């Protein structure tokens, strides 16, 4: 087993790629993608850009088949990439596309290029389902358990690769090139694109097949994943006015994104049109909030309360450090206990 897994990973990092930056290459690439069998998933999609969201800039749309990666240069070719055929592929609900955290891709594609992404299987969600597949009782998605649900962390692509793919080369590229972007994300807009960034972009899509093959489950769960991914696709795209705050961008799985175990649709609890969480701006049943929160207009969903709690803990630590250095620590220990118990209703 481990041998075949290693072979697949090896093949993934040797993918051939084409930089699509001329009209001729665009037409050839689209022709190839259209000819790929719809019995999939046989496509993996990712975008790269600066300040990646509806307010940022798109540099590349990268699409991999199982043996080739096409990097569509949006800086050079602009909207015509979508108008000449890519929109149709990205919007086709029957053509399954592997992605990893599709939320910001969906946001920028819709708000800047009028592309309504569909047909996604999101590997970040698949990982959550996969690692909890044997938990019979602790479904974080159950209708009765909604208010008591534990908060689930989502993994980054790098973390997933380290955990599930036997591919040292790809993780090395992710780490080394990724650290460059953290320093200067505008690098994605530079032309010609440096070769290590091309490699990085290829890793981001080609490894999704490896992760999918490793974690895929039975047909019913794959339908469940498709339903969950559709909700994930629209999560940020549907926000009228984005805030870009910690409640929009954090490492937790938003509530009510994955249907309950054994279901391929959402329970009434998960589809509630109740009060809006003031953190993530999503609607939840009234019982998800305390009466005091509702009365004060400060109702936060389980995840947003967890995020707020993390901020409080961090702030408290910083204050503690400052107090330690100023030698006056008698008052801070009291402050410390009041902050650390302030969100005690969250039984993580
Ligand atoms: Zn919330």
Assess whether 14 and 108 both reside in one domain: yes
Is 183 a domain residue?
yes
Assess whether 100 and 198 both reside in one domain: yes
Give the Å distance between the CA of 282 and the centre of ligand 1: 6
The per-residue pLDDT for 318 is 84
Mean pLDDT, residues 109-137 taken together: 92
Mean pLDDT, residues 107-136 taken together: 94
Q: Which two tokens stand for residue 158?
A: 């790098």
Assess whether 273 and 228 both reside in one domain: no
> Is the Cβ–Cβ distance between 207 and 157 less than 8 Å?
yes
Assess whether 188 and 306 both reside in one domain: no
Closest CA to 256 of 179, 146, 129, 95: 146
Give the Å distance between the CA of 27 and the centre of ligand 1: 44
Assess whether 231 and 283 both reside in one domain: no
Is 347 a domain residue?
no
Backbone phi, psi, residue 70, to 5°: -110, 125
Name the band, by pLDDT with cuts 50, 70 and 90, for residue 324: low
Assess whether 204 and 321 both reside in one domain: no
| pLDDT tens sequence across 283-304 | 988 888 889 999 999 999 999 9
Assess whether 224 and 334 both reside in one domain: no
Assess whether 67 and 165 both reside in one domain: yes
**Across all residues in the chain, what is the average pLDDT?**
86
Range list of β-strands (E), 247-330: none
Assess whether 7 and 107 both reside in one domain: yes
> Rounded to 10 degrees, what is the CA torsion of 63, 113, 101, 159?
60
Domain count, the chain: 2
Domain containing residue 206: 2-237
Give the Å distance between the CA of 302 and the centre of ligand 1: 7
Is 158 a domain residue?
yes
Assess whether 144 and 278 both reside in one domain: no
Domain finish residue from 216, 237, 258: 237
Assess whether 232 and 273 both reside in one domain: no
The per-residue pLDDT for 14 is 62
The per-residue pLDDT for 133 is 87
Q: Under DSSP, is residue 270 helix (H, G, I), strand (E, B) or coil? A: helix
Q: Please classify residue 343 by burial: count the beta carbons closer than 10 Å to its beta carbon, then call 0-12 exposed, 13-18 middle and 19+ buried.
A: middle
Q: Which two tokens stand for residue 87?
A: 């929109």
Is 280 a domain residue?
yes
Give the Å distance between the CA of 300 and the centre of ligand 1: 5
What Å distances lie between residue 210 and 22, 173, 178, 257, 258, CA to CA?
A: 30, 16, 20, 24, 22
Is 58 a domain residue?
yes
> Is the Cβ–Cβ distance between 257 and 301 less than 8 Å?
no
What's 55's domain CATH number?
Answer: 3.30.420.10
- Percent of the chain that is helix, strand, coil (3-state, to 5): 50, 10, 40
Assess whether 175 and 58 both reside in one domain: yes
Mean pLDDT, residues 169-176 taken together: 92
Region of poorest pLDDT, from 80-94, 203-217, 311-325:
311-325
Give the Å distance between the CA of 279 and the centre of ligand 1: 5
Name the band, by pLDDT with cuts 50, 70 and 90, for residue 103: very high
Closest CA to 304 of 231, 245, 257, 237: 245
Whether pLDDT at 10 is above 50: no
Name the band, by pLDDT with cuts 50, 70 and 90, for residue 5: very low
The per-residue pLDDT for 181 is 78
Name the band, by pLDDT with cuts 50, 70 and 90, for residue 335: very low
């Amino acid at each position: 087993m481990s041998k075949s897994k290693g072979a697949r990973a090896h093949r993934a990092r040797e993918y051939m790629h084409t930089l699509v930056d001329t009209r001729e290459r665009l037409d050839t690439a689209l022709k190839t993608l259209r000819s790929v069998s719809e019995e999939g998933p046989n496509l993996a999609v990712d975008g790269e850009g600066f300040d990646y969201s509806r307010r940022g800039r798109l540099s590349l749309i990268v699409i991999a088949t199982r043996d080739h990666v096409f990097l569509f240069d949006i800086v050079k070719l602009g909207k015509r990439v979508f108008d000449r055929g890519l929109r149709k592929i990205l919007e086709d609900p029957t053509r399954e596309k592997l992605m990893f955290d599709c939320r910001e891709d969906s946001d920028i594609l819709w708000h800047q290029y009028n592309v309504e992404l569909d047909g996604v299987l999101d590997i970040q969600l698949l990982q959550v389902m996969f690692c909890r597949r044997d938990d019979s009782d602790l479904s974080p998605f159950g209708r009765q358990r909604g208010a008591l649900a534990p908060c689930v962390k989502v993994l980054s692509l790098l973390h997933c690769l380290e955990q599930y793919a036997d591919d040292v080369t790809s993780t090395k590229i992710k780490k080394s090139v990724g650290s460059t972007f953290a320093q200067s994300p505008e690098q994605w807009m530079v032309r010609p694109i440096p070769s290590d960034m091309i490699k990085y972009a290829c890793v981001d899509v080609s490894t999704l097949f490896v992760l999918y093959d490793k974690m895929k489950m039975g047909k019913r769960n794959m339908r469940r994943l498709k339903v969950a991914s559709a909700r994930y696709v629209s999560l940020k795209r549907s926000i009228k006015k984005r805030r870009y705050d910690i409640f929009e961008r954090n490492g937790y799985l938003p509530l009510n994104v994955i249907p309950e175990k054994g279901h391929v649709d959402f329970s009434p609890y998960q589809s509630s049109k109740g009060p809006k969480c003031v953190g993530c701006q999503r609607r939840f049943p009234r019982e998800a909030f305390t009466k005091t929160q509702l009365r004060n207009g400060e109702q936060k969903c389980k995840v947003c309360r967890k995020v707020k709690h993390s901020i409080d803990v961090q702030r408290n630590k910083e204050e503690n450090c400052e107090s330690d250095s100023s030698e006056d620590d008698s008052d801070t220990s009291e402050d410390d206990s009041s902050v650390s118990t302030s969100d005690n209703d969250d039984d993580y």
